[in-house]
Structure 1
């Protein structure tokens, strides 16, 4: 950072996520019977002071009067504030420490708690300008130093005049008092800091709205720790992604937009143009047309198991990494399958409806235990295999069929054809993926091959069962019942009507695609998928990606990481290394993984390098995407 540049940083809601006096109020008023009313009053007064609708001195006097705090409570406040330092300041601690001579805290808060907090970030005591509490003989806070200019209106501007800073001055803050420094002609730029709070009256006056400290360092070419400010990475989350997932992206510093429903192709084509990360569930189709409009898309997260709603080939061609949650809702789906098998074998659904209509039908006719029955599982992946184990533990004889060779768990028996499975089993449960080849794998012919009185459970994909054929089999009595959770056409949101030929059929359980919709499953998915995407964005790690070569990378330390995604052609690695050798760039570590279509090369290099070398690496024939991390 040039020596002539000075940063003036506010403390409350800028350096920390909170207003310190609000937190002091929670401590000092803990046992006050009017605690909630008083805390709300403090927050209201703070906001009025920050947006300029109340003079600062009035705001300060009113708050201290309500607080009724003491010196010993300041220690508790300091401990609380240390846990509330703004995320982007934590991320850039090294920058603050390295440039501490040119960083000043000028705050309307109080030195008593500010100095201990900022000292951990290397900021010098002499560079902290703030108010000072006055205590009585019992160490109660009774007043503030009224001679201190920061206790008065326009105090920050007056303070800067007194300390006589030279050179360019950049102010970072969230309040109107921070803008006043620029308005007084004492600063070159005012950055409205909105990571924690955004005040329209303040942002409207800013030279630049800064969602994080990363953004400020980036626009001033000072960002040595992060290659790109996270606040510029836009995330779009559709279809009611669990709040945990939303929060994880926000905590990382990304700009997050949430839409509760799915989007049509046309809607998504327009919406995706400036999006870097897209999160969807099963109803949103990410087509080639959508991807052709995705100019900045780095990654897609499928907050579910399946990824057939995503054009994976086009994502690969465009260098877009796709991640899903292959295990996170497995248990939920399996438990639902077991429950539905039991319900169908006992006709519970129909008996429950009859009871609600006042009909008493106590009979064992058509009711069976599941113990000893033959369960046929089509698709022996994560869900099919776990269903196999649970069903066997409940006394069922398990058979399965899969087009891929899979190891049988427990005493399950692999059958060599779909027809053999259908002829053999009393219950058929579908757990295949959504590839196009699986359309109507259970059609009229296959249903006819099932045993008379068998039941069918489909918790996989809507298009794998021919619905008219299933309806005919239920009405004719060939099948004793069915449970369907997925449908060829599904409503995009809860306000659209559900239409199906299966409505009203006997011993038929219809559920609105909720196999994985348990709180446990949604929380697991919401933690897993963002974690994988953020690992990829931050480190280049592609482990668990469904369309990229999988590489699990070490942490990046004291190096820059070059990520080169290219068509899988001979000689690309040699070209990369030749360019690095030509520019005398030392390789610290290198990792290569390919699949049949693309190659993924990670090269960690010493920090010193020529920008021309980067340009040449980007120009290698067959390059799909190049990223640089540091």
Structure 2
């Protein structure tokens, strides 16, 4: 019996996938797995029984990823599950920044009791005139699951699309419209585009990647769209540019005190993935990944350990070892199996940065003494007997 805890409300569409071998618990210390959306987990370090954390979403800033790696806790996310919801928000944000629909709607609300509203609006609407997005240039920084969708739909709307991603995956390349112009530098996007949409993860290398120097290269009529993560755009530089008329709009899903009250900012309360479909998709992916890991040892979409898929064990035993990426670990594992007369029928070992993961399918069940020998090897973080 596996036990799980939900730190946030998780869609029942996903939770319904759990079968009779799974039980929801109230106490974190009793859980083998945690499902989470936005709850902060950095103070949740005393978790001796925890094997996996699944974030129903893409960002994992609320999870102590590296600390959990050292404890042998696999952290999953669900990239692409909410991509369509975020894509639609980006397009909505672009339209709202081009046409003053918010101002026009506010005018109607303020004048809704005016008996002459029909006559008055013909004069008032001049204040809310805007521009069309067709034939405008949009630069998409980051061509992952969301960026590709944004680029493709913008192209279908008649826009001239520029894309930048030095780490473009083969899958994204296949899905990307051939009409997208690939550029080799974000400066090309800053200099030429009317809209700049950011779709990269927040890391040390991407923090404030849209900063003072980049904004200085932009057209004064440009709009920055940030539906990816707070911290990617230098808010001080944005506020200054808006106040000085060097930027038209900043559209963001991450309002902060620095920008929320600045004229030219269109902000939303982190609504990008707040659709029924996105929440269901994220929950389904998170639950399926947790189940495959707990039952079979397979890892898919982990942010701190490598992906491995050995399918379902067809032999007498399977053992999984989370370990540090240091020399001679495989030699020590296989040497121990050989010493104990255990035959390996199939194995896989993958590495991701400082950590590695090995799975061994064996032709006989492994004894507790052998498991303890593996745990005692320097560099081993966690050993699990799957079967």
TM-score, normalised on structure 1?
A: 0.55
Shift of residue 362, structure 1, vs aligned partner: 2.2
Corresponding residue number in structure 2 for 1:244: 13
Aligned residue for 2:22, secondary structure, equals coil
Deviations 1:7-26 (A, max 9, x none): xxxxxxxxxxxxxxxxxxxx
Distance in 2 of aligned mates of 1:457 and 1:628: 47
Question: Residue 284 in 1 paired to residue 53 in 2?
Answer: no
Higher helix fraction (1 or 2)? 1
- Indicate which of 47, 50, 53 corresponds to 1:300: 53
- Whether contact under 8 Å (1:350, 1:507) holds in the other structure is no
- Tell me, what secondary structure is at the counterpart of 1:350? helix
State the alpha-carbon separation in 2 of the partners of residues 248 and 585 from structure 1. Answer: 36
1:473 aligned residue (241, 250, 261): 241
* 1:274 CA drift (Å): 4.2
**Alpha-carbon deviation of 1:328?**
0.6
Measure, in 1, the Cα distance between the counterparts of 2:220 and 2:348: 57
Q: Which of residues 521, 525, 549 in structure 1 aligns to 2:278?
A: 521
Q: 1:404 is matched with which residue: 143, 146, 167?
A: 167
Classify the secondary structure of the residue corresponding to 1:290.
coil
Call closer, same or farther: CA 1:284–1:438 in 2, change over 3 Å: farther
**How do 1:48-59 and structure 2 match up within 5 A?**
none
RMSD of aligned Cα (Å): 2.5
SS at match of 1:399: strand
3-state DSSP class of the match of 1:613?
helix
Contact 2:101 2:128 in 1 (8 A): no
The alpha carbon displacement at 1:330 in A equals 0.7
Cα deviation, residue 365, structure 1? 6.8
| Distance 1:610-1:376 versus aligned 2 partners, 3 A rule | closer
1:314 aligns with 2:67: yes
Contact 1:461 1:487 in 2 (8 A): no
Whole-Å separation in 2 of the counterparts to 1:504 and 1:382: 31
* Contact in 2 for aligned 1:440/1:465 (Cα 8 Å): yes
Q: Which residue of 2 aligns with 1:194?
A: none
Asked which structure has the greater CA Rg, the reply is 1
Deviation per CA, 1:351-395: give whole Å up to 9, x if none: 111111117222387511111000011222221121111100110
Count of aligned residue pairs for this structure pair: 372
1:16-415 mapped onto 2 (5 Å cutoff): 229-230=1-2, 233=3, 235-249=4-18, 251-257=20-26, 272-281=28-37, 283-287=38-42, 290-291=44-45, 293-358=46-111, 360=121, 361-363=124-126, 366-404=129-167, 407=173, 409-415=177-183
- Name the SS for the 1:617 alignment partner: helix
C-alpha displacement of 1:609: 4.8
Conserved in 2, the CA contact under 8 Å of 1:399 and 1:421?
yes
In 1, the alpha carbon distance for the partners of 2:189 and 2:321 equals 47
Structure with bigger RCO (C-alpha 8 Å, 6+ apart)? 2
Q: Report whether the alignment pairs 1:430 with 2:198.
A: yes
* Matching residue within 369, 372, 385 for 1:612: 369
Matches within 5 A, 1:431-510: 431-487=199-255, 500-503=257-260, 505-506=262-263, 508-510=265-267
Aligned partner of 1:627 in structure 2 is 384
The offset of 1:508, in angstroms, is: 3.8
2:144–2:168: 8 Å Cα contact kept in structure 1? no
